[in-house]
């Protein structure tokens, strides 16, 4: 039972490193940018609220999960591999929901506010920094963490939660952290 719980926890931690690596190297690495993830990720940055189709993500996660379970089962046994894959896929699902919410919802609580600034600093201040969406741990470990300052968002990419519908200006509660640029 403890071994299975540790396997799940290891899967969760492995996802945070995988998330960082995929985002940094497959999404922003010059040598790898033409891969399917890189193409979709470039589109996400260019359009702001664009997300790749859920069915593409589901197929990719099924392939990765099956491969990890198969190889892991050979190495450490089916139960431990299953726990690892469960933790990895559960955290992947949590990441997908979290990332989408950052774009469509203002964020709740201290973690939500931190994540929003961290992520949009990556989008609008410096794409070479803050690759972790759910955690800054790997950004800190790999030297790509940058404490977000006030983030200037292009008007054409402004998130709906950021602006007043009547005026198109930044809502008062977000003005300390965000501003708008462009026409």
pTM of the model: 0.88
- Does 153 fall in a domain? no
pLDDT class for 33, splitting at 50, 70, 90? Answer: confident
- Does 175 fall in a domain? no
Domain that holds residue 94: 2-110
- Does 38 fall in a domain? yes
Q: Taking 70 as the threshold, does the pLDDT of residue 67 lie above it?
A: no
Place of tokens 């963490």: 145
Closest listed residue to residue 36, CA positions, set 65, 11, 59, 12: 59
pLDDT class for 79, splitting at 50, 70, 90? Answer: confident
d(CA 171, CA 140): 31
d(CA 117, CA 170): 14
Q: Report the number of distinct structural domains present in the chain.
A: 1
- Does 73 fall in a domain? yes
Closest listed residue to residue 21, CA positions, set 47, 76, 46, 13: 13
- Does 120 fall in a domain? no
- 180, 169 contact by CB (below 8 A): yes
Q: Which residue has the higher pLDDT, 58 or 45?
A: 45
- Does 36 fall in a domain? yes
pLDDT of residue 22: 92
Q: Taking 80 as the threshold, does the pLDDT of residue 84 lie above it?
A: yes
């Amino acid at each position: 039972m403890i071994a299975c719980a540790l396997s799940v926890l290891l899967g969760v931690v492995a996802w945070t490193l995988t998330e960082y690596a995929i985002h940094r190297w497959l999404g922003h690495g010059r040598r790898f940018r033409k891969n399917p993830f890189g193409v979709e990720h470039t589109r996400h940055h260019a359009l702001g609220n664009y997300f790749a189709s859920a069915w593409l993500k589901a197929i990719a996660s099924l392939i990765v999960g099956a491969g990890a379970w198969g190889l892991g089962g050979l190495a450490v046994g089916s139960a431990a591999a299953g726990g690892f894959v469960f933790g990895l896929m559960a955290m992947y699902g949590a990441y997908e929901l979290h990332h989408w919410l950052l774009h469509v919802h203002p964020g709740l609580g201290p973690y939500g506010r931190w994540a929003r600034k961290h992520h949009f600093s990556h989008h609008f201040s410096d794409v070479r920094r803050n690759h972790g969406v759910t955690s800054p741990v790997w950004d800190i470990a790999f030297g790509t963490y940058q404490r977000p300052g006030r983030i200037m968002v292009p008007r054409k990419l402004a998130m709906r939660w950021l602006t007043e519908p009547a005026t198109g200006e930044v809502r008062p509660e977000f003005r300390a952290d965000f501003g708008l640029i462009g026409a």
